[in-house]
Amino acid sequence: MRFAKPALILAVSLLIGTTLWAKPESGFGIYAGYASHSSKGEITEGAFQGLEYEVTSSGPSLGIDYQFALGDTFSLSIVWMSSAEPAKSDELIVDDAGHGMLGVQLKYWFGSTFAGVQAGNYSEILSSDEEGVSDIDGTGTGYGVVLGWESDKGGLFVTAQADMAKIKYSDAESDLTGYRLHVGYRFK
């Protein structure tokens, strides 16, 4: 027990020391992972005006980006992400949801780890396997946060992000909340 505290201090010192030597790298990145979304909205026109609904979905996610290193502590990335997710709703006839994002991320680096913010254009497509039910799609602007780690020895990286967007359809509006977890590789 009396060696636990010094061992913990040594481990934290080594971790901080090794992460302080790394810095962001410029380059093209590809990644894959998992996305989960919740869309809460209200129909604003037509026979179902005023109907509130919720759609939840989770599934595979893909993305690409190009990161520009801005010195030793900042980077700026142009990001595109897309996901195809089985969906469910008690109020709407929907079987699948597609979500996309085109935007920018500004990251602050603590060695190999980073925290940042993002903003962009978000899209949502809701579709059904039922005959006669049309797909609907909407877009809107949003923002989010991103956290992650990127290896200083190779191109491996891991990111987690949370997003919020306001999606507008031709006859509805919804608040979209999303979470993504990705593992990727950056070509330096």
Strand partners, 60: 34
Q: What single DSSP character describes residue 11?
A: H
pTM over 0.95: no
Q: Flag whether pLDDT at 4 surpasses 80.
A: no
Note the pLDDT of residue 22: 63
Note the pLDDT of residue 136: 85
* Distances 91 to 40, 73, 81 between C-alpha atoms, Å: 11, 47, 27
pLDDT band at 44 (very low <50, low <70, confident <90, very high): confident
Note the pLDDT of residue 65: 96
How many CB atoms sit inside 10 A of residue 184's CB? 20
Closest-CA residue to 35 (of 3, 68, 79, 81): 81
Of the ranges 28-42, 63-77, 111-125, 151-165, which one carries the lowest mean pLDDT score? 151-165
How many CB atoms sit inside 10 A of residue 31's CB? 21
pLDDT band at 143 (very low <50, low <70, confident <90, very high): very high
Q: Flag whether pLDDT at 16 surpasses 70.
A: no
Structurally, at CATH architecture level, domain 4-187 sits in: Beta Barrel (2.40)
